[in-house]
Structure formats: C-alpha cells, structure tokens
Amino acid sequence: MLDGPNYPLIQLIATDIKAADSGFDAGVEVTLKGATHALRVPVQLERRDGAIIARGEFPLRQSELGLKPFSIAMGTLVVLDEMRVRFEVTARE
C-alpha cells in the first residue's frame, strides 16, 4: 500500500501554528507517495527543563492521503479507513 521501495520517506512539515480554544492548531503538510496533503492538527505545547514539547492526537483517514484501505478475501478481512495519529516532538536549544 505504501510502496516503500519506490517511496521510502513519509515527510511531515509544520507550516504554521495558531492559537485555538484549548491549545494550538498547526498546519501540517504530509508528503506520501509523491503527493502532498495539507492538514490542520490540534497541538498542546509544554515548556519543561529548557525544552518545548509539542504533542497531539488526531483522526486521519487513509483515503484522505490517497490510499486505499487494505482488504482481502472478498472483504472478510478489512483494515479500517480511519486511524489515530499520536505524536510528541521535543525541541531543545
């Protein structure tokens, strides 16, 4: 489905960040299999011990990334379209 030999990298680039109701909202460009998709992602920021920690969780559909969910045996085994993405990134000086 991901065609790793031809597309060995999945790239995520934060494009902007804005204040939102319960934290922040980040613009993210996801490049997968040569196609770039723009997303808005909720982010919580924390300052600790001289570092900034960004973390969040959001739903993402494989079909939004141009992927077809995996299915075999005439649909008796199916991977759901929706997945949950969780992340934590730490930035230090």
pLDDT value at residue 40:
92
Q: How far apart are CA 37 and CA 60, in angstroms?
A: 12
* Cα separation values, 58 from 68, 89, 93, Å: 19, 15, 28
Q: What is the CATH superfamily name and number for domain 11-92?
A: Lipid/polyisoprenoid-binding, YceI-like (2.40.128.110)
Does 4 score more than 80 pLDDT? Answer: no
Summarised one tens digit per residue, pLDDT across range 14-41 is 899 999 888 899 999 988 888 888 989 9
Q: How far apart are CA 28 and CA 11, in angstroms?
A: 10
Domain locations in the chain as residue ranges: 11-92
